[in-house]
């Protein structure tokens, strides 16, 4: 309890400073009007392989950018795919969940995350590539795959979390699922689809590799 109290006093002091960027090393909350949240029990299940958290490494440095453009630099951030929230691990049995409503964007592990309205609710997406009016987004989810019974040993393999990744095309306030097949991908560009098609073919650009998305959007900006 004494450690927690000292920790909270440190956070309150740090956020009271006037600097546009506040560095909070090895501390995990920002309990003020700009960035609130709640402590919860870390409910990871030991007998399940993998995790519903996005990153395996809890020592990653990240930056939370608040709605009033205050940058909070923290170590220990992660993304909870079950609750659609960014969290920070405080101990083996507890995490701090940040309030989504106070967060403008998150930069973690060289990835930028922002919330977009999708199927009636705001959800975090990684911003993979941007143009003047288009954003290509990446949605991370985890699916629990049940263990399989081995008929010879009569033993069941552990349940495990598997990654489910979906890409989206965001344009003029509308979000659509983006299939990584040549024809549906190109058709997303509307009246500029033919020019994009020629560019991809001429330069042998693979749309299966997301590292090429920004290159394609850079060319799109020139049309």
Tokens standing for residue 56: 């395996």
For CA atoms 206, 212, 217, 220, the dihedral sign is negative
Question: What is this structure's pTM?
Answer: 0.79
Tokens standing for residue 68: 């009033």
- Pick 144 or 186 by higher pLDDT: 186
| Tens digit of each residue's pLDDT (9 = 90 or more) over 85-134 | 999 887 777 788 888 998 999 999 889 999 999 988 899 999 999 999 99
Give residue 24's pLDDT: 40
Q: Return all residues near 87 (Cβ < 8 A) that are at least 6 apart.
A: 53, 77, 78, 79, 80, 95, 96, 97, 98
Give residue 36's pLDDT: 53
Task: Supply φ then ψ for residue 220, to 5 degrees.
Answer: -55, -40
Does residue 212 surpass a pLDDT of 90? yes
> 192 and 217 in contact (C-beta within 8 Å)?
no
| Tens digit of each residue's pLDDT (9 = 90 or more) over 160-202 | 889 999 999 999 999 999 999 999 999 999 999 999 999 999 9
Orientation angle between helical segments 213-222 and 193-202, nearest 10 degrees:
130
> 49 and 159 in contact (C-beta within 8 Å)?
yes
CB atoms within 10 A of CB 24: 20
Tokens standing for residue 189: 């560009």
Tokens standing for residue 194: 């033919």
Strands (E), the chain: 21-24, 37-41, 61-66, 71-75, 77-80, 85-91, 94-98, 103-108, 111-118, 121-130, 134-145, 149-150, 155-156, 160-171, 174-178
């Amino acid at each position: 309890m004494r450690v927690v109290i000292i920790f909270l006093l440190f956070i309150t002091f740090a956020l009271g400073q006037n600097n546009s960027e506040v560095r909070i090393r090895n501390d995990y909350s920002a309990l003020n009007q700009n960035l609130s949240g709640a402590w919860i029990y870390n409910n990871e299940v030991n007998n399940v392989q993998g995790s519903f958290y996005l990153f395996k490494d809890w020592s990653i440095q990240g930056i939370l950018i608040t709605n009033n453009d205050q940058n909070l630099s923290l170590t220990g951030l992660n993304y909870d795919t079950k609750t659609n929230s960014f969290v920070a691990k405080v101990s083996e049995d507890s995490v701090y969940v940040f309030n989504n409503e106070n967060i403008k964007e998150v930069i973690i592990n060289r990835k930028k995350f922002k919330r977009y309205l999708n199927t009636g609710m705001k959800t975090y997406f990684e911003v993979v590539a941007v143009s003047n009016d288009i954003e290509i987004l990446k949605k991370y989810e985890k699916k629990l795959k049940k263990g399989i019974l081995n008929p010879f040993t009569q033993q069941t393999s552990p349940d495990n979390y598997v990654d489910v990744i979906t890409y989206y095309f965001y344009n003029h306030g509308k979000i659509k699922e983006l299939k990584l097949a040549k024809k549906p991908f190109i058709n997303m560009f509307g009246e500029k689809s033919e020019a994009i098609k020629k560019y991809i073919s001429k330069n042998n650009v693979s749309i299966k590799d997301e590292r090429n998305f920004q290159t394609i959007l850079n060319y799109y900006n020139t049309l």
